[in-house]
Structure 1
Amino acid sequence: MGQTAANKSQYDVVIAGGGMVGASLALQLCHHSQQQLRILVVESFPIAKSHTAEAPLYNPSFDARSTALSYSSQLILEPLGVWPLLSKYAAAINSIHVSERRRLGSTMMKPGDVDWPALGCVIENAWLGNVLLNALREKDTIDFLAPASVKHISPQQQGVTLMVEQNGSEKTVAAQLAIIADGANSNLREQLGINARVHSYQQTALIANVSFTKAHQGCAYERFTDQGPMALLPLSDSELSQPRAALVWSLPNDQAATLSECDEAEFLKTLQQRFGHRQGEFIRVGDRSGYPLKLVEAEEQVRSGIVVMGNAAHSLHPVAGQGFNLALRDSARLTQLLVAASQQNRALGDLGLLQQYQQQQQFDQQKTIRFSDQLPGLFTRNQFPLSVLRSIGLGFWIFFRR
């Protein structure tokens, strides 16, 4: 990684946010441009100065959650050279079982249905983030400032200028293009006057890793209950060689609070009642965290010299596991257009170019957002035939948006 960021003031692309979206976008731009683009990544959380991929470190940008990657996301990441390390602790999704509690409608999908080696995989965010950051450090054309923050973005006739603060001092950098990838509660998005539509689901996603007695054999579960949907995503075995999975359980706020605070035995008992015995007995739960569920959509994603991406552009309900997968597809499309523009000596912040990106991704974004938003409500009806059709239809959607 370039070590002279403090002395540089001119970049092709500055990415505000070094989380999974910002890091993966930087790697795509670097790789597909054959390291011809000068890139700066600014991350607000401190990053260890040296660490190895063999000892992943926890970082607040990559919290205790896990990410379900679709097979198409794997294809985006593979050319970047990070997949051998990512796959080391990835759990393959060999099947997807979709069901509705106390209903007969269900479906099972397997890789053979689509002629793929796997339907996707699940990777803990701490590991995913560490691998991406290590890859960034190896690129001479990518500079990384952390902890640091972009305090202000000023559009110019050509490109933008950014005020970057680090260690109490400020510096101004110029870029053809600024990428805002600082999360759903983006300060930069708000500062630029880009409004966001926010819809609260009045629910909390309860996140925890759980262990059980039966081997999961790579099966991911999407189960719909009268209290809210839950997902159980396969993980690599624990240090005790126990089968384990990442639980994402959407619940009314008060129930989520109760289950976050109750003792382990009470939590496992309740989970067993709601999920059933397909994985045998639940025997252990790790730290439990709650995340208020809301849909956030930026009313603008592009301006001259500016692109809003990731959760800053669209933060989705986690039931279909599509948030990061959609962001990867967005970044792949943007990378394709930016690299082509660079080769044609076209300004990377050209509004027409950025509008082309938004137009090309509009269908994918709208379909994915609407599906993730409407899916939980579809499972509140009680007609049996619709229950069967819902489950079958869901199976063909989850993890397969390309």
Structure 2
Amino acid sequence: MAESGEAVDHHCQVLIVGGGMAGASLALALSRHAPDMSVAVVESAPITPDVSPHEHYQPSYDARATALAYGSRLIYEDLGLWPAIAEGATGIHRIHVSERGRFGSARMDAAEHGQDALGYVVDNAWLGLNLVSALGNADIQWLCPARVQSAQSSQQGAEVRIERDGATESWHCDLLVVADGGRSGLREALGFSVQRRDYDQHAMVATVTTSRPHEGVAYERFTDDGPVALLPHRKSHDYALVWTMPATEVERRMALDDRAFLKELQGLFGWRRGRFERVGRRHSYALGLEQAPEPARPGVVLVGNAAHALHPVAGQGFNLALRGLMRLSACLAQAHRDGQSLSDLHTLRPYLDEHQQDVDAIVGFSDGIIRVFSGSSGFPGHIRDLGLLALDAAPGARHWLARQNMGLNRRRSSLGHE
């Protein structure tokens, strides 16, 4: 290592900024798709690839979780990681969709599709630790803890200055992948524009405990305030709650004591799972549809939340990102085999075109749900009621919706599988 402050020159073909779930998934896929490609990952958190998930994972009642679609399970199976992830995954066997004050409802059951689950709920920490641990067996340069000081891209690749161990290193890469979310500032520093539609809503997330066991049933209940989603989470009586509400309500509900909060939740959700008995630490964040109109330019590409952030109503955000990461990995591996420049925007065009179709479909799907079930949608309640009843009675429509939730209506690319 050079003396503090001295620049050190390094080169790799792909430099991934962000070693979270998105960045680590891409790095792992590249290690499988193109094991001779030089890849480096920059991560600010002090995590090393030799981590043991079982030793470092501390299950917490307040753990943040992600809903993985069945299609995402197939991707992680292709990457050889699913058996490890499955140890901490809770299966969603059935989904129940309803609207408060209406008798219509729709149900989806994994058994109808010959699967053991429609999806899975996994603690973010467990998923992340297993991804990072898997990278310990891959030929990936792990720069951690480190942060990007500056970056610029061109037809020849990207020049990135990284601060690590008190020294500033100068890196050149053929392709810079921005995978550290939409709030890091690197996206804006590189000059990418972002389009945002504010929903004037917040999502409140927490763990709640019910008097009746969840039995693998997930709920999406639409209310005048917004959808209330309950996802089965680890212990038999615990749920991951995602409660969407107007911006004017979030501050008040965050300030409620636990008893008052659970009473309001009970009134909106009902008694299908008995009494709400406990709630953990609550978190909230503003909701909006955010997209980078041009997520790539010569030498750099945005992925995951840096490229698109969706409303959580359909639970498709990370699943959409993961499919895109696998397409990008396959595209880069093919270009590497063919001797094409990874910096050339033309090289990325097949990935960009295919993934944008997926993005448009999921955005249209989730945005449509919000508009139809919004209290100000203009759709009469009885029409929505009939729609849920018709959906429940129509096997074809129900099958399509289930496959949409399972992430199977779009092609996936992982290790050559489609």
Q: TM-score, normalized by length of structure 1?
A: 0.91
Q: Match for residue 415 of structure 2?
A: none
Within-5 A mapping of 1:211-226: 211-226=209-224
Runs of 4+ in 1 over 6 A off after TM superposition: none
Aligned counterparts of 2:287 and 2:225: Cα–Cα separation in 1: 14
Given that 2:48 and 2:132 are in contact with CA atoms closer than 8 Å, whether structure 1 keeps it comes out as no
Please, which moves more after superposition, 160-169 or 20-29?
160-169
In the aligned structure 2, how far is the partner of 1:387 from the partner of 1:199? 28
Post-superposition offset of 1:299: 1.8
**Cα gap change, 1:272/1:178 in structure 2, threshold over 3 Å: closer, same or farther?**
same
Query: Is 1:297 equivalent to 2:291 in the alignment?
Result: yes
Change (3 A) 1:186 1:204: same
CA contact (8 A) 1:164 1:172 kept: yes
Is the 1:378–1:390 contact (alpha carbons within 8 Å) kept by the matching residues of 2? no
Matched AA of 1:338? L
Q: CA deviation at 1:227?
A: 0.5
1:169 aligns with 2:163: no
Q: CA deviation at 1:170?
A: 1.2
Shift of 1:7: 7.3
When structure 1 is superposed on structure 2, of 82-91 and 381-390 the one drifting more is: 381-390
Query: Is the counterpart of residue 12 in structure 1 residue 13 in structure 2?
Result: yes
Alignment of 1:207-286 (within 5 A): 207-237=205-235, 243-286=237-280
Counterpart CA distance in 1 for 2:321 and 2:119 is 16
Q: Does the CA-based 8 Å contact 2:48-2:142 persist in structure 1? A: no
* Alpha-carbon distance, 1:49 to partner: 7.9
CA contact (8 A) 1:96 1:110 kept: yes
Deviations 1:346-396 (A, max 9, x none): 122221111221111121111112222332221133241333325736844
Q: Distance in 1 between matches of 2:164 and 2:181?
A: 20
After TM superposition, give the deviation of residue 84 of structure 1 in Å: 1.4
Q: Is the 8 A contact 1:56 1:126 kept in 2?
A: no
CA distance in 2, matches of 1:271, 1:337: 46
Alignment identity in percent? 42
* Amino acid across the alignment from 1:213: S
Listed as ranges, the matches of 1:98-247 within 5 Å are 98-139=97-138, 141-237=139-235, 243-247=237-241
What is the CA–CA distance in structure 2 between the aligned matches of 1:119 and 1:17, rounded to whole Å?
29
Counterpart of 1:3 in structure 2 is: none
CA distance in 2: counterparts of 1:170 and 1:388, whole angstroms: 62
**Does 2:39 correspond to 1:32?**
no
* Post-superposition offset of 1:50: 5.9
Aligned length, in residue pairs = 388
2:204 maps to amino acid: L
Distance in 1, matches of 2:322 and 2:232, equals 21
CA distance, structure 2, for counterparts of residue 327 and residue 166 of structure 1: 28
CA offsets per residue over residues 154-178 of structure 1, 9 Å max, x none? 2244222211122442111111111
Could you tell me how far apart the structure 2 residues matched to 1:56 and 1:247 are? 25
Structure 1 gap ranges (5+): 1-5
Q: Identify if the C-alpha distance between structure 1 residues 206 and 147 changes in structure 2 by more than 3 Å, giving closer, same or farther.
A: same
Aligned pair partner of 2:320 in 316, 320, 326: 326
1:15-60 CA deviation, whole Å, 9 max, x = no partner?
0111111110110111122x2111111112232686421134479x
Q: What is the CA–CA distance in structure 1 between the aligned matches of 2:40 and 2:58, rounded to whole Å?
A: 22
Distance of 1:332 and 1:275 partners within structure 2: 37
Contact 1:320–1:399 (8 Å) recurs in 2: no
- Cα distance in structure 1, aligned partners of 2:405 and 2:50: 37
Residue equivalent to 2:80: 81
- Cα RMSD (Å): 2.1
Q: Which residue type is aligned with residue 203 of structure 2?
A: A
Distance 1:50 1:197 in 2: 39
Q: Which secondary structure state, in structure 2, belongs to the residue aligned with residue 296 of structure 1?
A: strand
Cα 1:294–1:168 shift into 2, 3 Å: farther
Higher deviation after alignment, 85-94 or 388-397? 388-397
Structure-2 separation of matches of 1:80 and 1:8: 32
Query: Relative to structure 2, which stretch is displaced further, 112-121 or 334-343?
Result: 112-121
- 1:218, 1:301 → 2: CA distance? 37
Alpha-carbon distance change, 225 to 56 in structure 1, aligned in 2, over 3 angstroms: farther
8 Å Cα contact 1:13-1:176 kept in structure 2? yes
**Alpha carbons of 1:213 and 1:55: their partners in 2 closer, same or farther (altered >3 Å)?**
farther
Please report how far the alpha carbon of residue 182 of structure 1 lies from its aligned counterpart in structure 2 after TM superposition.
1.6
Distance 1:233 1:86, change over 3 A: same
CA distance in 2, matches of 1:256, 1:55: 37
Contact 1:104 1:388 in 2 (8 A): no
Please give the secondary structure, in 2, of the residue aligned with 1:183.
coil
Supply the AA of the counterpart residue of 1:15: I
Whole-Å separation in 2 of the counterparts to 1:348 and 1:80: 23
Task: Provide TM-score, normalisation by structure 2.
Answer: 0.88
Separation in structure 1 between the aligned mates of residue 30 and residue 285 of structure 2, nearest angstrom: 31
2:300 corresponds to: 306
Report which stretch shifted further, 253-262 or 191-200.
253-262
TM-superposed CA distance for 1:152, in Å, is 2.1
Which residue type is aligned with residue 361 of structure 1? Answer: H
Q: Secondary structure at the match of 1:398?
A: helix
| Structure 1 residue 271, shift from structure 2 partner | 0.9
> Which residue identity lines up with residue 335 of structure 1 in the other structure?
S
| 8 Å contact from structure 2 (residues 210, 278) kept in 1 | yes
- Where does structure 2 lack aligned partners over 5 or more consecutive residues? 1-6, 392-396, 411-418
Match of 2:3 in 1: none
Secondary structure of 1:210 counterpart: strand
